[in-house]
Amino acid sequence: MFRALPPVLARPSGAIRTCVLLVLLAATGTAILELVRQQTGTPGFFVGLALALLPVPPLMAAFRWLGRAAPAPWPQLLFCFGWGACTAALIAILANSFATQWIAAATTDPSDADQLGSVAIAPVVEESAKAAALLLVFVFRRRHFTGPADGFVVAGFTATGFAFTENILYLGNAFGEDVMEGTGVLDSVTAATFFVRIVLSPFAHPLFTVLTGLGFGAAAVSARRVRRTGLPLLGLALAMGLHALWNSSALFGEYGFYVVYGCVMVPVFGLLLYLAVRIRRRRLRAVAGELAVYASAGWLGPAEVPALASMPARSLARSLARRSGGRAAGRAVARYEADAAALALLRNRARRGGAVREPDFAVRERELLRGLWLRRATAGPALARAAVMEELLPPWFDPLDLRPSGAGAAEEGAGAGTGAALPAPVPTPRRPEATPSHARPRDSRPAEARLW
């Protein structure tokens, strides 16, 4: 009886999960837009929408740049943005309104209720709602959640979507207030709100949620169950604390906002920016180191490895492929680059954590190697040419040496020193070795007979 339960309680298929999430995003998106329009009025809604759109492309481009070493699929990133803009925003506005009304009824002081709600309730509700998107990706798209860089990117897109909807609400309300009072543009509440939320602190919500994303990213590379559970909770707690400090800056006096902004927000932003650049460089070094094993085994050309570890060379290779073979060739090179980076990071995690961290290493490795093999005829020459044009090849590189030199040694080194933790090494593809011209037997037949 009990043996029949697992098939019945099995996970729904990917198509079903996708449909459910799309319906959820559509429903919550429609609800939050109508709710915001009712609070701001139709003119205020469109003014807020136009102004709130301004910081979205730069923020998305910045987080996309961070993840370019091993890019996440665009549908996943758009889902995170939609979750933040629709579902998380709806949860936050409903929960915050309910909590504020309950506190006001309990304390009979609306001003205290607003302050307590913004400091104690809003950070918990909003960061938890945004963290739900990270949890969904972490559980159901674990293949694309491989470390701190992915946590950085997923959290950034989610928080950018949330800030977008929140900015519509604040800017729309400010515009409605200015219309009622007939305030000029320079002295308007809209201009002040725009300056604070769009110019000074467009990174505020991404800054909070990135701390949660780093917790999930650290959990993704941890083999211990305690850390996989505790690190995301620690990141979420830090995000709530920083969010509460930011919201309470108005309670610290006339210059409280500037003190918190200059002494806390700016230094934390600088620290996370430094960490993001460091994570990106470390990822590219891992790509170079792990792909060298596959190049030694003959799966990649020696000139491809330095090109795949350089973002300018990758971009140049895509441009060269599009110029010679059209958009289809450019897409093939982009897919080749993404698969190569995913393969390198997969092997890096397996080498460090073994079967505990990557139980399906062999299957996933075969999938990625097959993808590389299918596109190598198009991507290989473009990457090799990009490596030459970017001057990435070392002085000792010999382009005429076509032998997979060191294949056996590479395979031995791949399996040595790690015991049973590392999966089996990559088999070397069969490649014909070039025969020197002086070692070939001389053909004494007439020239006419040699044609046959």
At residue 396 the predicted structure's pLDDT band, cuts being 50, 70 and 90, is: low
Helix count and strand count (H, E) for the chain:
19, 0
Element (H, E) at 332: helix 311-353
Rounded-to-integer distance, Cα 226 and Cα 88, Å: 27
Confidence (pLDDT) at 446: 44
Per the model's pLDDT, the better-predicted residue between 239 and 258 turns out to be: 239
AA identity, residue 131: A
Average pLDDT over every residue of 401-420: 40
Greatest mean pLDDT among 42-56, 385-399, 413-427: 42-56
| pTM for the predicted model, two decimal places | 0.82
Average pLDDT over every residue of 413-436: 42
C-alpha pair distances (Å), 206 with each of 83, 176, 270: 14, 27, 13
Average pLDDT, the chain: 83
Cα dihedral across residues 251, 257, 258, 261: positive or negative? positive
| Polymer length of the chain | 452
pLDDT score of 85 more than 60: yes
Confidence (pLDDT) at 348: 86
Confidence (pLDDT) at 111: 66
* CB-based contact 70:341 (threshold 8 Å): yes
* CB-based contact 211:239 (threshold 8 Å): yes
pLDDT, one tens digit per residue, over 167-214 is: 999 999 999 999 888 777 777 899 999 999 999 999 999 999 999 999
Confidence (pLDDT) at 102: 83
Confidence (pLDDT) at 21: 86
Tokens standing for 42? 């139709």
CA atoms within 13 A on the CB side of 259: 10
Confidence (pLDDT) at 11: 52
Chain CA centroid to CA 15, Å: 22
pLDDT score of 431 more than 60: no
* CB-based contact 88:25 (threshold 8 Å): no
pLDDT, one tens digit per residue, over 324-368 is: 989 999 999 999 999 999 999 888 888 876 555 666 788 889 999
C-alpha pair distances (Å), 411 with each of 319, 404, 424, 426: 34, 12, 9, 7
Confidence (pLDDT) at 395: 67
Q: What is the DSSP letter of 334?
A: H
Tokens standing for 259? 């003190």
Tokens 């509440």 appear where? 189
Return the percentage of the chain with pLDDT > 90, whole number: 57
* CB-based contact 203:63 (threshold 8 Å): no
Query: Could you give the residue ranges of the DSSP H alpha helices within 221-310?
Result: 225-247, 256-260, 266-297, 304-308
Rounded-to-integer distance, Cα 260 and Cα 248, Å: 9
Give which of 149, 165, 194 is closest to 30, Cα–Cα.
165
Confidence (pLDDT) at 401: 56
pLDDT score of 145 more than 50: yes
Residues 6+ apart with CB under 8 A from 354: 418, 420, 421, 422, 423
Rounded-to-integer distance, Cα 239 and Cα 218, Å: 15
pLDDT score of 439 more than 70: no
At residue 245 the predicted structure's pLDDT band, cuts being 50, 70 and 90, is: very high
pLDDT, one tens digit per residue, over 204-230 is: 999 999 999 999 999 988 878 888 889
* CB-based contact 379:317 (threshold 8 Å): yes
Average pLDDT over every residue of 67-82: 90
pLDDT score of 449 more than 70: no
